[in-house]
Amino acid sequence: MNYWLFKSEPGEFSIDDLARRPRNTEHWDGVRNYQARNFMRDEMRKGDLAFFYHSSCAEPAIVGIVKITKDAYPDHTAFDPDDKHFDPKSDPDNPRWVMVDVRLIEKFDAPITLGTLKRYKNSGLKDFRLLARGNRLSVFPVAGKHWNFIMSLR
């Protein structure tokens, strides 16, 4: 099993939005970065777990855990001219972008804030991608040691 982190702006799609979906499940669409896409397409698998991270908000934080319930498949929003994630260069016969389905496993009672995570950047979270300068990816792998350390902060 692999571990991941998914970033989402809570004003766009929050963990509470996911909790309101049927079966607490939704497709994770709109990823428009090739490296993040490659992670989803080539490495992410059904059964993997991911942290749900609220970004670009007053208090960025890991707010819960989701499970990948469907392997990568074409992101249909890329083909819809009325969708904000439309990509005119994406071709349904050779899709450029993918999405996965995720199901909410747990919403944390107390979010693990970015400030809390930063306190451990030179110890238990050394080399954790979220804390790296210039990290802009919305989806990325989390090493098992980092996953376990973050889980111990709960």
- Bridge partner residues of 60 (DSSP): none
What is the dotted CATH code of the domain comprising 3-152?
3.10.590.10
Whether 134 has a pLDDT exceeding 90, the answer reads no
Pairwise CA distance, residues 31 & 78, whole Å = 10
Q: Give residues with Cβ within 8 angstroms of 125, minimum separation 6.
A: 117, 131, 146, 149, 150
pLDDT, averaged across the chain:
97
Per-residue pLDDT of 60-71, as tens digits, reads 999 999 999 999
Per-residue pLDDT of 17-60, as tens digits, reads 999 999 999 999 999 999 999 999 999 999 999 999 999 999 99
Asked if 142 and 112 count as a contact pair (C-beta separation under 8 A), the reply is no
Higher pLDDT, 136 or 29: 29
What per-residue confidence (pLDDT) applies to 54? 99
What per-residue confidence (pLDDT) applies to 135? 82
What per-residue confidence (pLDDT) applies to 4? 99
Which residue's structure tokens are 């999405």?
Answer: 99
